[in-house]
Structure 1
Amino acid sequence: MVDDLNARGGINGRMVDITSEFYSPIDAADAERVCAVLHQDNETFANLGGFLGPAGSADPCVTGTNNTVMVGGEISSAEELAQANVAWFHAGPTTEFQTVNLFNLLVQTGETDGARVFTMGGAAAADEESFVLEQLEARGIEVVGSALIEALDGDTIAQDNELAVAFERFNASGANTLMVFGTPSASIRGAGAAGLTGEIAIWSNDSAGLGNLGATIVDKSIADGTLASTGPTDEDVWNDQDFQDRCVAPVQERIPESDLRNPLEYAPEEDNWFNSVRQGCQALSIFETIATAAGPVLTPETFEAAAYGPAGDNFQVPGMGPASLSPDKRGARDGVRLSVYDSTAGDGGLVAFTELLDAFE
């Protein structure tokens, strides 16, 4: 893909040189080692990809310790982002923008009409509560109560006792909608125990948690109908013509032995070329858009300024569609959809409730 970029003239006539290094995704220490190799042993302007999973704790080594621009990694908290001395972006939404995307879609599709919302979350997500309430208020969505469950997920009995009290308050408040922030399994279990399954609307800002409800929910049908915001599916990405032209074709042309195909066709034990190509191509596309707009003098400062200028207001990313960046919005993706939990979908999971929409249109 970098060869293809250079064949198209590079970035403002400058060729891009790539250096890569493998790391263990479950070993933060190994990720720190790789960070040092990439950014201290090499003259690196930008890191495309970053570190993911348990190794994600090494991300601040890139943008903080080594003052290197990054498109990738995972911005998991404001504290982590505060360690960055230079621009740090990635493709998907940050935690806060999972909430923003959800509420924007709910408003766009009329799901908030007549909603009387009670918010609920666990102690591990306590720092999300004020932001959720602020975003509801900003959209004029009525909030009638809130509850924070202090008992941790490992203490089910104590958690269920707290949930019973919380849902007594829910019923007394006149709420007809439960907004769950953070891991949703406990609150959904509480709603089921309170006999509210199918009687109220449930929204969740944690689509990953909703897709993996855990062992404390035996009857997953109690989560049916819960709405969350999700991005394009793997098949959506694969079927996007821009992704085929800008990501798949360059790889297949230059690496004849590549095994790039519809991601639904891979067996669990097979090397999934699709995931690697998607991540790399989208990061490179975001970088190319911003770096090109930065002009002939490319520095961390001009790169960041370009991201917050007209070029970052509205652009397209292969397999992702509409995208934008701002000082507050570090995740580029704007194309999202409402998805709904369906216990009959495989072992239970999210299925499309709407088409892909621009959350910021």
Structure 2
Amino acid sequence: DVGQVDDKSFNQAAWNGVLQAAEDLGADVDYIETQSSKDYANNIGLFADSGCDVIVTVGFALADATTAAAAEYPDVDFVGVDQFYGEPVDGVAGLIFAEDQAGFLAGALAASISKTGIVAEVLGTDLVPPVLAFGEGFVNGAKYVNSDIKVIKTYHPGGIDTAFTDPEWGATTARQALENGADVVFGAGGKTGNGAIIEVASEDGAYCIGVDLDQWESVPEAHPCLVSSSMKMIGEGVFDLVSQAAAGTMPAGNYLGKVGLAPFHDFDSMVSDDIKSMLATLKADLESGAMSPCVWDADSNPDCAEPEPLTASWRGVTEDAIHVGVSMLDFAFLVETNLSPQGWGDQQLVWETFVEKLNNDGGILGRKLIVDSYKYYSPIGPILGGIDPEAVCLELAADIETFAILGGFLGPVEDTNTCITGTQNTVMVGGRQTAERLAASTAPWIEPGTMKETKMKVFLSLLEQEGLLEGKNIALVGNEDDGPYQLASELLGNMDANVVLDVGVQVPVGDTAAEDARWDVLVQNVLASNADVAVLVGGERAGIRNLANNDIDMDLYVMNSETFTNLSESVTPDMAEGAISLTGLTEQETWDDPLTQNNCVIPFKEANPDLVIEGPDQFDEGEEEWYRSIMSYCRWLHLFSMIVETAGPNLTHETFLAAAESMSDFVLPGQPYNSISPGKYDASDSFRLSVFDSSSGGDQGALVPLTGILDGTP
């Protein structure tokens, strides 16, 4: 149905069966490589009209064309590879396989040899049931061996016409999985899968598993990593059915071919006897029906996971729903008051799209996620007429029965987060943590990013490692109400750093007049200190603005990268040129991450086809920054769902917290390194130093990488 006959995988396996018929039965053989689905019927007709006795149609998508041709050419026998028929069709044998069993065995092998506890699969489209069976069977096999294993599962986002002929996407997706900690990759998707395993072959210490036939023979480039292949004995099945057709005994209906693992070749000594014995037992039990791979019968087979009954286990949790509230920055207010040049698109629509997709996919362990209220707030509070976050807290957490708040509060009003997690005793995913705020919280609080204290420690450590503090006269200026200034002062005091000025101020962030009045004095302090570096902690935009307006040319070290993503109307990109900050992946890297694309971008675009959504590199100044809300809210919801799913059916504050604390190493869209553990409730461990370049990323400039990405997982 798609691809070439020499794809070294699915199509080639079928062609090998036909070649065996030529050799053993003396058959005259030929093939046609279909270029488009509209040619299916015509190509079959070409063979039938030329006098062929048996026609082998290869691929799920050819089933309808094969059925129609069988009615038109009753004297021809048809073998349909990967074509399941609910009712027998005269003259057609559907050669099918238990791909769920084959995938299960591959997953069991992968989990048995993985050292990192993370495995991955790079797959063709899930529009094809056999591919879906491979993918889900692999997950279940891996979980059977190690219930705590993490499986990075990525289906190709394209249709049948491209999903199996895209080795570049396969390679890129495999590389991303390796960078996210996977050390075993299963490639199942024709040339797309081949691209994946060939990419893995270039990574020392990583293993790969092929598909459909023994790819040790067909993809020698993968030898450095190829432990085995999850085989469908396609060639054997095709030959058997052609032989029966030649004898006049080919049955109509489905014909079940064999599956299994290929030999381990050069890795035979690495795969222990215990693993081999386990795999042999699993294969026998799967074939006999003594156990199930739990793909097609997961909901009906009592031997598959027994679900714990869902109950009304906590405030905001019912038998069939989890109730949450969502808080969002009021960008309309920020734009109106010149505190931001543009917004993040229709934020509520972004949330609604991802919540709807989650619920359409089955919700979380069978419960729907219900957002009872969406509320906007001002990051500077009621100043200038903004929406007070204290009121938003009460509306979301006190006035309605909610289990959790997603989003929290950002900016100068971050202390208000404890209204949710403390006063209202409500779970939160979002906001900005500090040690003091956590101490005031009674409900579990997970920050998707990194708390400011951790960021400051990492930031100053990286500056020191890169030699950016050596020989510098440092002016430390901090806003005691907006940032870990005291910690920065202590850390610099313990380093070999020459701090010539250390000043902490208390000025409301966002009150431009008050900030500038205080900086009139600070400017003179900085000049008198002969500092050549300013470390700004809290109220950073005011510092950047006033240093630039007074023509003070000095290096800027600003830990808080959000300073540069929303400079405000009073701070131009030129003022921030050359400033060094702490970041993770760049926005474009985050956007391009396959997990972001497959879980966030593509679903949002498909759900909202009338919207033009561009990534950071294609963003036009003045337009809404949809990409920021899509990336952020998708990641936050993904994190919340992961924790709730890990918590299990009995969802309470205690099980939510225990589940979060058990997630010692995991991957999020656009955020490769993450961990949560007792005492550590900020997820992201992905760090690098970046420098602000006013000429990058459009008129507003952008942070560009200064160092490589660091895995800071404890």
1:50 deviates by 2.5
- 1:182 and 1:2, CA in 2 relative to 1: closer, same or farther beyond 3 A? closer
Give the conservation status (yes or no) of the 8 Å contact 1:93–1:331: yes
CA contact (8 A) 1:122 1:183 kept: no
Aligned counterpart, 1:62: 420
User: How large is the RMSD of aligned CA atoms in angstroms?
Assistant: 4.0
Match of 2:559 in 1: 205
| 2:586 is the alignment partner of 1:233 | yes
Aligned to 2:523: 160
Larger Rg: 2
C-alpha distance in 2 between matches for 1:7 and 1:284: 15
> Which of 444, 447, 468 is residue 90 of structure 1 equivalent to?
447
Structure 1 residue matching 2:450: 3-state secondary structure = coil
Match of 1:120 among 454, 470, 475: 475
CA contact (8 A) 2:519 2:546 kept: no
Report how far residue 339 of structure 1 moved.
1.0
CA distance, structure 2, for counterparts of residue 19 and residue 89 of structure 1: 19
**CA gap 1:249/1:347 in 2 versus in 1, 3 angstroms:** closer
Note closer, same or farther for the CA distance 1:14–1:99 as it changes in structure 2 (3 Å cut): same
Look up the match of 1:320: 671
Matched, 1:50 2:439: no
Secondary structure, aligned partner of 1:298: coil
Contact 2:408/2:431 (8 A) holds in 1: yes
In the alignment, the residues of structure 1 paired with residue 416 and residue 468 of structure 2 have an alpha-carbon distance, to the nearest angstrom, of 43
Aligned to 1:38, which of 393, 396, 399? 396
Separation (CA, whole Å) in 1 of partners of 2:569 and 2:623: 26
- Residue 295 of structure 1: aligned partner: 648
Deviation at residue 121 of structure 1 after TM alignment: 2.5
**CA 1:360–1:119 in 2, change beyond 3 Å: closer, same or farther?**
farther
| Cα deviation code 1:177-231 (max 9, x no counterpart) | 764444556489779999975xxx75332334467499699984xx654422123
Aligned equivalents of 2:683, 2:405: Cα separation in 1: 16
* Alpha-carbon distance between aligned partners in 2 of 1:58 and 1:353, rounded to the nearest angstrom: 34
What SS does the corresponding residue of 1:205 show, helix, strand or coil?
strand
C-alpha displacement at 1:91, in angstroms?
2.1
Q: Provide runs of 4+ in structure 1 moved above 6 Å.
A: 187-196, 213-219
Which one has more relative contact order, counting CA pairs under 8 Å at least 6 apart? 1
| Letter aligned with residue 527 of structure 2 | A
| Shift in CA distance, 355/57, structure 1 to aligned 2, threshold 3 Å | same
Partner of 1:341: 692
Q: Structure 1 42/2 Cα, relative in aligned 2: closer, same or farther at 3 Å?
A: same
Q: TM-score, normalised by structure 2?
A: 0.41
SS of corresponding position for 1:275: helix
319-328 vs 113-122, greater mean Cα deviation: 113-122
Distance in 2 of aligned mates of 1:271 and 1:192: 29
Counterpart of 1:290, as a letter, is I
Q: Is the 8 A contact 1:23 1:30 kept in 2?
A: no
Deviation at 1:71, TM superposition (A): 0.5
Q: Would the alpha carbon gap of residues 24 and 214 (structure 1) be closer, same or farther in structure 2, given more than 3 Å must change?
A: closer
Q: Structure 1 residue 245 and structure 2 residue 598: aligned?
A: yes
- Give the total of aligned pairs: 341
Letter in 2 for 1:300: H
SS of the counterpart of 1:238? helix
Q: Aligned AA for 1:149?
A: V
- Seen in structure 2, the aligned counterparts of structure 1 residues 348 and 289 have a Cα distance that, compared at 3 Å, is closer
**TM-score, normalised on structure 1?**
0.75
Give me the whole-angstrom Cα distance separating, in 2, the residues matched to 1:264 and 1:301. 43
Q: Give the fraction of aligned pairs with identical amino acids, expressed as a percent.
A: 31
Q: Aligned partners of 1:10 and 1:210: how far apart in 2? A: 36
Q: Please say if 1:21 is aligned against 2:373.
A: yes
Structure 1: gaps of 5 or more residues: 171-175
Correspondence for 2:638 among 282, 285, 300: 285
Letter in 2 for 1:238: W
Q: Deviation per CA, 1:159-183, whole angstroms, max 9, x where unpaired?
A: 233223322xx5xxxxx97644445
Alignment deviations for residues 309-336 of structure 1 (CA, whole Å, 9 cap, x no partner): 2x1x221111222112345544322223
AA at the equivalent of 2:669:
P
How far apart are residue 105 of structure 1 and its match? 3.6
- The 1:133/1:36 distance shift into structure 2, 3 A limit, reads closer
CA distance in structure 2 between the partners assigned to 1:55 and 1:150 by the alignment: 19
| Alignment CA distance shift 1:353-1:299 (3 Å) | same
Q: What letter corresponds to residue 453 of structure 2 in structure 1?
A: E
1:21 is paired with a residue of what secondary structure? strand
1:179-190 matched pairs, under 5 angstroms: 179-183=535-539, 186=543
Seen in structure 2, the aligned counterparts of structure 1 residues 350 and 125 have a Cα distance that, compared at 3 Å, is: farther
CA distance in 2, matches of 1:203, 1:307: 33
Q: Look up the equivalent residue of 2:428 and give its one-letter code.
A: M
What SS class does the counterpart of residue 17 from structure 1 fall into?
strand
Contact 2:573–2:694 (Cα < 8 Å) also in 1: no
Residues 480 and 486 of structure 2 are in contact (CA less than 8 Å); yes or no, is this contact kept in structure 1? no
Q: Matched residue of 1:247: which SS?
A: helix
Secondary structure at the counterpart of residue 19 of structure 1: strand
Q: Give structure 2 stretches of 5+ with no counterpart.
A: 1-353, 506-514
Aligned to 1:100: 457
Summarize the Cα distance change of 1:122–1:145 in structure 2 as closer, same or farther, 3 Å threshold: closer
- Contact map agreement 2:421 2:445 (CA 8 A) in 1: yes
Alpha-carbon offset, residue 238 of structure 1: 1.6
CA-to-aligned-CA distance 1:267-317 (integer Å, 9 cap, x gap): 5565544333223211111112222222332211221222222x1x22111
- CA-CA distance at 1:98 after TM superposition: 2.6
Q: Which residue of 1 aligns with 2:503?
A: 149
Task: Indicate if the aligned counterparts of 1:89 and 1:332 stay in contact, CA closer than 8 A.
Answer: yes
Deviation at 1:255, TM superposition (A): 4.3
Cα gap change, 1:145 to 1:6, in 2 (>3 Å): same
SS where residue 325 of structure 1 aligns? coil
2:674 touches 2:713 (CA, 8 Å); kept in 1?
Answer: no
